Amino acid sequence: MYNEILTIGPVTIHGYGLMIGLGVVAALLLGDYRAKKFGLNGDHIYGMTFSAVILGFLAARILFIITEWEGFLQNPMQYLAGAGFVVYGGIIGGALTIYGFCKIKKIDMLSYLDLMIPSVALAQGFGRIGCFLAGCCYGKETDSWLGVVFTNSDFAPNGVKVLPTQLFMAGGDILLMAVLLWYAAKRPLRGRTSALYLILYSIGRFAIEFLRNDDRGTVGMLSTSQFIAIFTFVVGLVGFFVVAPKLKQKGNENSAE
């Protein structure tokens, strides 16, 4: 686990940034392939993705600063210039960006969101591998054979055996992508693939937080991510069981007219 992959003169390629870049490329390729398969505009996929990545990262950064507000007030430049993101901020920021993009382009948001949501899970999987290389988002100390020892991390405790929660999350994200692709192939109601993502991701994220041991914000007895996961889980349930059927019914009524 070494974050500095390659150094050429003054330029250093870091594992975290490399994995983020690979994740975005993989997400784009998957989204473009599926756009052709489902008869959607691939150009919109590229514009939507680049916009969502930029504003999603900004939102993830802002939420990180909010969760670490006391530390930010003490040393703002360290937080502004250093690393640190909260994934839920990226999800929320990305979703709002896609909503705005679809409004401007006057295209159906749910169709494109359903198309891209497996790509989101794929990109997150790559990102978590980057977390592992950097040593952030590490787990609790353990004697288990699953444990790993970091030696060059600026985040994880070096020389201590900890759970590789980053790899657990990466594996979970890839599995989530596979489930979403399988479900989307069944041509479910509009919005249900995205809602299923929220349901499953929220469950997985809530559970994995119990194994993490890195410094992060809390809300009472819950981590910030667990607190947000409760709401995203509920939103997913409402979207899956209430909103999607209503949209179908509304569509049928409009067709009858």
Q: 221-231: per-residue pLDDT in tens?
A: 999 899 999 99
Question: In the chain, what percentage of residues exceed pLDDT 90?
Answer: 61
In angstroms, the CA 113 to CA 94 distance is 10
Q: 256 falls in which pLDDT band (50, 70, 90)?
A: very low
Exposed / middle / buried, residue 71 (Cβ in 10 Å: 0-12, 13-18, 19+): middle
- R_g of the chain, CA atoms, integer Å: 19
224 compared with 148, residue with greater pLDDT: 148
In angstroms, the CA 242 to CA 115 distance is 20
Strands 161-162 and 148-149: antiparallel
Q: 81 falls in which pLDDT band (50, 70, 90)?
A: low
What does the pLDDT look like over 204-222, one tens digit per residue?
999 999 999 998 878 899 9
49, 27 contact by CB (below 8 A): yes
What does the pLDDT look like over 155-179, one tens digit per residue?
899 999 999 999 999 999 999 999 9
What does the pLDDT look like over 29-46, one tens digit per residue?
999 999 988 899 989 999
Q: 61 falls in which pLDDT band (50, 70, 90)?
A: confident
